[in-house]
Amino acid sequence: MTSATDTPIAVRRLNTQTARALADLASIFSELQTVLRCCERLVAELAARDATDDLVIESLWTTALLSYSRCFTSGERGMCLTESDVEATELEGEVLEWHKALRKLRKHYADPVHNPRERYDIGVAQDDDGRPTGIAITSTPQPALDGRTVRQTGAIAYALSQLVDKRITEHQEKVYAAAQQLPTSELNNLPRIEVAVPEQETSTSE
């Protein structure tokens, strides 16, 4: 929490529970921003009609679903979003049901075995006497992604990102308050994080 004009001489890694929670929140916020960016790109791709690239659409949609689901998976992390958070967005409609549908879609698109695009069946072709004349490979395509689905997903991601942003601010204040109580000697013993400091533009006088 330094001002824009402050240039820190060092950044030290904090490993407290509150600091780890803040890191989790920052990661979740990043995932939600990825969902929003994917949805923005998808709306443009779907509007292209004849110029639509199916591969691009699938890539963006899969990334959006994976990023969204990671926000609700704690794993080894200390924090994650919950269904209560989805309900707290106060969006209109069956928001929780749509959230559950997105989680199911994530499993569908991330399935390590089944093709998410088409279902294939093998049949035998017959002649008038019922005798086999060849083998037919048929496929049934999955329903295509539509703009309404993308916009609803983006709306949920945006509402959740606002919720997470508030939590980040709250946790940042707690972490900063705790860091201010640490002795300088203890701070100096913490692992150092190498960060790139942007170069300041220098002006020359004529």
Q: pTM, whole model, 2 decimals?
A: 0.81
Residue 2 binned pLDDT confidence (cut-offs 50, 70, 90): very low
Q: What is the DSSP secondary structure assignment for residue 15, as one 8-state letter?
A: -
Q: What integer pLDDT is reported at residue 159 of this predicted model?
A: 96
Indicate the domain borders of the chain: 17-116+144-188
What pLDDT, in 10s, does the model give residues 69-101? Answer: 999 987 555 689 999 999 999 898 899 999 999
CA 188 to chain centre: 35
Is the pLDDT score of 40 beyond 90? yes
Per the structure block, which two tokens stand in for 50?
């004849």
Q: Higher confidence at residue 13 or residue 76?
A: 13
Q: What integer pLDDT is reported at residue 79 of this predicted model?
A: 81
Dihedral of CA atoms 50, 137, 59, 45 in degrees, nearest 10, equals 10
Which one of 3.40.50, 1.20.120, 1.10.20, 1.10.1760 gives the CATH number of domain 17-116+144-188?
1.20.120
Is the pLDDT score of 167 beyond 50? yes
Q: Higher confidence at residue 44 or residue 199?
A: 44
What pLDDT, in 10s, does the model give residues 86-144? Answer: 999 989 889 999 999 999 999 988 888 888 888 889 999 988 888 999 999 988 888 88
Q: Tell me the residue ranges of DSSP E strands in 56-157.
A: 118-126, 132-141
Q: What integer pLDDT is reported at residue 68 of this predicted model?
A: 96
Q: What integer pLDDT is reported at residue 6 of this predicted model?
A: 63
Please, what is the angle between helix 147-180 and helix 95-109, to 10°? Answer: 100
What pLDDT, in 10s, does the model give residues 14-23? Answer: 888 888 888 8
Consecutive H or E run containing 108: helix 95-109
Is the pLDDT score of 185 beyond 50? yes
The answer to whether 89 and 95 are in contact (CB under 8 A) is yes
